Amino acid sequence: MTMTTDVEAVMPSQECPRLSQLTPDQLERIERNRLEAIKRREAAIRRDALAHVPAIAANMLGSVNSSTPFKKRKVEHAILPGSLPPPYIPAVTQSEQVDEPKRQDSEKNSDVKFSEEQIQALRAVAMRNSVFLTGCAGTGKSFVLEFAIRSLRAMHGSDTVYVTASTGLAACALSGTTLHSFAGVGLGIGSKEELMHKVQTRREARQRWQGARALVIDEISMIDAQFFENLEFIARKIRKTAKPFGGIQLLVTGDFFQLPPVNPQSNVAYAFEAKCWNDCFNLQMELKHVFRQSDLTFVSMLNEIREGIVTPATHEKLRKRICCAPIGNDGIMLTKLYPYKADVAGENFQRLQELQELEMVYNAKDEGKSEYAKKQLEFTRAEKRLTLRRGAQVMLIKNLDTPQGLVNGARGVVVGFCDPANPCAAQFRHLVPIINPSAMWPVVRFACDQSERIIGPESWAVEEYGNEIAKRWQVPLTLAWALSVHKCQGMTLDRVETDLKRAFDYGMVYVALSRVRSLEGLRLLGFDAGKVKVNAKVVEFYKQLQRHDASSEKAFEV
């Protein structure tokens, strides 16, 4: 039996007790918790507003100390801090930073702490310098990126700041577009002159290049050197200036030790090998402090594998995780990581069909100003059509409650569906009108805190010219018996099972291992040290980056 639900209204996901054990006292407690949550959100909004106070901005824009790893190079478009308007930089609290994934609202932002190196990166962006920010998995690159984007928009205006990424999935996580889409170069195939001609004949693309004051590029590791050079050439020619990248302020992030460019069109594969690379940045900085994993031994092991090193101690630790005992007894299985998407689709479909339970189908509601805008929604993590059954292994695909661990990648199991007549559903039904009152929303037990929560629809937006052009409403879940290594890049998973013998690309073993929060949450079906592949050019690039930080004077030259 299948029931289909059109997602026509947003219903905030609310924490609920065990549905089978509801009592009047519990319902009263739910309402009390809801009111307290509203108060916390209002307090967070007030704290967020304080971030605009000039004194806070001035503190973040304080003088650069001698330990700040700024690349010493004279750049014409660098501007002294005294001439800057106060950027948007959030207040910093003393509580521990919890994770790398993007913070979605001020309530989540109020309980995080910046490391000193993150503050240095934000300060560099606020001083209108072009920055390349890198670091191993879990060091908060995405976290810094979110706040840096806000700072850029406050300085330049939202309509002149373009947020892009190398892949559609990464772009939608930032509510942006792909780099190819921004550039107006189609698939990016052809000489720089051919691509230049293509941009010149497209009015909107030409206007984007001419009006851009800042350009954000995430997941740079999947952009090849030739394409980066082509874009730099286009920027200079369209904007009629000899300045690097046409004088556009760049904020580029990524880890070249992770997955490399797909089918690069030249022998020079990595973006950092582009002839113009060093000229484009005032600062190239590597974040070192890891927030995702708290086990320092595990962090050390990951750092070794990131650089292609497998010591006897690391090999022994991983060998002990081969076919180890099942992890957890709460009904939440390990997520299998596969190198190929076909394996993922087959595993999830087969396991779902094995569940002899009521099936619920959720069709997303898409809003867009054009067919092009709606097409961009296909790159979001939210599925056009989501099918669930009781017992389905699922994963959260959006941050809902960061302090409680309900972040992008949180694992759970569907334990039932919430009927509108259920008293628990009545506690939040009045918050937003429901167009389809017969909707039954999934109830999920999460591994992070063993709570059961009703998961209602959430939204994903696509922006262009600083304006929202499309939005998708969908239940923020995906089937999670299996995931591809490529799709899980940027996520944090609690429990993972994978066969590392099947890895075939540079960085694939590292990406798979660095997705799991702890070594105890990892189960291996096989491990071959020979599959730990790292490109020698990447190793040398990071050595040069570290040598430069250690030997050069850490200051701006304006």
pTM of the shown model = 0.66
Q: In 110-256, which residue ranges form alpha helices assigned H by DSSP?
A: 116-126, 141-156, 168-173, 179-183, 192-200, 203-211, 225-239
Strand bridging mode 496-499 / 335-338: parallel
Q: Quick one: DSSP state of residue 100?
A: S
Task: List, as one string, the DSSP characters of 26-67.
Answer: HHHHHHHHHHHHHHHHHHHHHHHHHTTSHHHHHHHTPPP-TT
- Cβ atoms < 10 Å from Cβ of 96: 10
Q: 3-class SS at 143?
A: helix
Q: What is the pLDDT of residues 327-384, one digit of tens each?
A: 666 678 888 988 888 889 899 999 999 999 988 888 888 888 777 777 778 777 788 8
Q: Which residues pair with 445 in a beta bridge?
A: 413, 452
Which tens digits make up the pLDDT trace of 247-297? Answer: 999 999 999 998 788 654 445 589 999 999 999 999 999 998 877 656 778
Give CA separation, 423 vs 25, 241, 456, in Å. Answer: 12, 65, 16
* Alpha-carbon gap, residue 271 to 221, rounded angstroms: 7
C-beta of residue 474 within 8 angstroms of C-beta of residue 382: yes
- Give the CA radius of gyration of the chain: 24
Dig out the tokens for 369 from the structure.
């100003």
Average pLDDT over residues 502-525: 86
Q: How sure is the predictor about 96, in pLDDT bands with cuts at 50, 70 and 90?
A: very low
* C-alpha atoms less than 13 angstroms from C-alpha of 219 in its C-beta half-sphere: 25
Of 437 and 271, the structure prediction assigns the larger pLDDT to 271
Three-state SS for 314-335 is HHHHHHCCECCCCCCCCCCCCE
Which three-class secondary structure state does DSSP give residue 551?
helix
Supply the pLDDT for residue 401: 80
One-letter identity of residue 463: E
User: How many helices, marked H, and strands, marked E, lie in the chain?
Assistant: 17, 22
* Locus of tokens 């097409």: 375
pLDDT of residue 240: 95
Contacts of 548 (CB under 8 A, 6+ apart): 71, 284
Is the per-residue pLDDT at 511 higher than 60? yes
State the DSSP code for 246: G
Token pair recorded at residue 191: 């000489």
Residue 213 tokens read as 């004051």
Q: State CA 76 to chain mean position distance.
A: 32
Phi, psi angles (nearest 5°) of residue 317: -65, -45
Taking the C-alpha atoms of residue 426 and residue 117, their distance in angstroms, rounded to an integer, is: 46
Listed range (162-171, 272-281, 399-408, 444-453) with the worst mean pLDDT:
399-408
pLDDT of 93 above 70: no
pLDDT tens-digit map of 22-46 = 555 655 566 566 556 555 654 554 4
Residue 558 pLDDT class (50, 70, 90 cuts): very low
Q: What are phi and psi of 399, to 5 degrees?
A: -70, 125
Closest CA to 485 of 453, 440, 531: 531
> Identity (one letter) of the amino acid at 303?
N
Lowest mean pLDDT among 66-80, 143-157, 258-272: 66-80
Cα distances from 518 to residues 315, 408, 479, 494, 502, in angstroms, run 16, 16, 22, 7, 22
Quote the CA–CA distance of 514 and 266 in Å, as a whole number: 29
Q: With contact defined as beta carbons under 8 Å apart, do 278 and 548 qualify?
A: no
Compute the C-alpha angle 407/381/347, nearest 5°.
95
Nearest to 239 by CA among 206, 263, 266: 206
Average pLDDT value for the chain: 76
For the chain, give the longest Cα–Cα distance.
71
**The two structure tokens encoding residue 14:** 């609310």
| Residues 386, 441 contacting (CB under 8 angstroms) | no
Cross-strand partners of 15 = 453
Look-up of token digits 């076909």: 342
Chain position carrying tokens 């990126």: 145
Q: pLDDT value at position 148?
A: 94
